[in-house]
Amino acid sequence: MVRIGIIGGSGIYRLIEDPVVREISTPFGEVKVYTGMFGGEEIAFIPRHGEKHEIPPFKVNYKGNLYAFNLLEVERVLATNAVGSINPKLEPGTIVLPHDLIDLTRCRNGTFYDGKTVLRVRGKEVGGVIHVSMTPSTYCPELRSSILAAAKEMGLHVIDGSVYVCAEGNRFETPAEIRAMSILGGDIVGMTGCPEVALARELALCYASIAIVTNYAAGVKSNAKLTHEEVMDIFSRRLDDLSELLARTIPRIPKERSCPCKDALREFLKD
């Protein structure tokens, strides 16, 4: 059993030294999962965009990735996301832990529960038409606390709470779209947070995201445009912090879950 899965976003394609590569067959396709020691225990790792960043956001096999974790009996999922900032206070280089999201994707299949598919979750069958709840916490509070405690131990400045807006892509947003997202309450924008968060909840997996701001979104600071080199420089320096943050978070994640995520399917699981 591997209790923790990590989904690496842009810039994180390898995490484990000498991993075991496992091809996991799921009803949603084959998924390559890397397992091995990281942060003091065996974990499972999936680079969301593939090892060579060959998979665009709209083609990521979100269902396959999370179902592969489910088959490995993972309970906790940590994800990383590179994001643009809608909120001008979040400058490039800032590390942010979102607490809520707005899904503005349009063309993605965002549920396991299409009325027909029957899944197995922790040894029990589940299927039909199921509407999971995104309250009381959109992201797992226990994972978020563990990340914040690890950041504090490192002396790493992390913003606790922000609203992640998921755009469909594949292009970047227009200035008018970013203004609209700001009015809606968004702080950061990316293309991969959804449906990942909801699919994790549909399998009763804990899920939290660590986002790195790589740039201001369109029109946010039109007079302070960063060069590509500056962005990449900020990003690569932050990647070391991000891997250390992940490694230090793992031992802080409680072995027993006492968050609401584990009960997301309680009334639907059949023996």
Sites of contact with Zn ion (CB under 5 A): 140, 142, 206, 259, 261
| Residue 90 vs 210, nearer CB to Zn ion | 210
User: What is the closest distance, in whole angstroms, from the C-beta atom of residue 136 to Zn ion in the complex?
Assistant: 11
| Residue 3 vs 238, nearer CB to Zn ion | 3
User: What is the closest distance, in whole angstroms, from the C-beta atom of residue 271 to Zn ion in the complex?
Assistant: 23
User: What is the closest distance, in whole angstroms, from the C-beta atom of residue 15 to Zn ion in the complex?
Assistant: 21
List, in sequence order, every residue forming a beta bridge with 82; answer none if it has no partner.
212
Distance in angstroms (rounded) separating the CA atoms of residues 212 and 83: 6
Maximum Cα interatomic distance, the chain, rounded to a whole number of Å: 60
| Residue 150 vs 261, nearer CB to Zn ion | 261
Q: Which residue has the tokens 């914040």?
A: 148
Distance in angstroms (rounded) separating the CA atoms of residues 83 and 193: 10
User: What is the closest distance, in whole angstroms, from the C-beta atom of residue 208 to Zn ion in the complex?
Assistant: 8
Angle at 257 between CA 197 and CA 253, to 5 degrees: 80
* The residue count for the chain: 271
The pairing of beta strand 100-104 with beta strand 163-167: parallel
User: What is the closest distance, in whole angstroms, from the C-beta atom of residue 205 to Zn ion in the complex?
Assistant: 8
Alpha helices, H only, 96-227: 141-154, 175-184, 196-202
| Residue 130 vs 259, nearer CB to Zn ion | 259
| Residue 66 vs 261, nearer CB to Zn ion | 261
Nearest to 144 by CA among 1, 15, 260, 9: 260
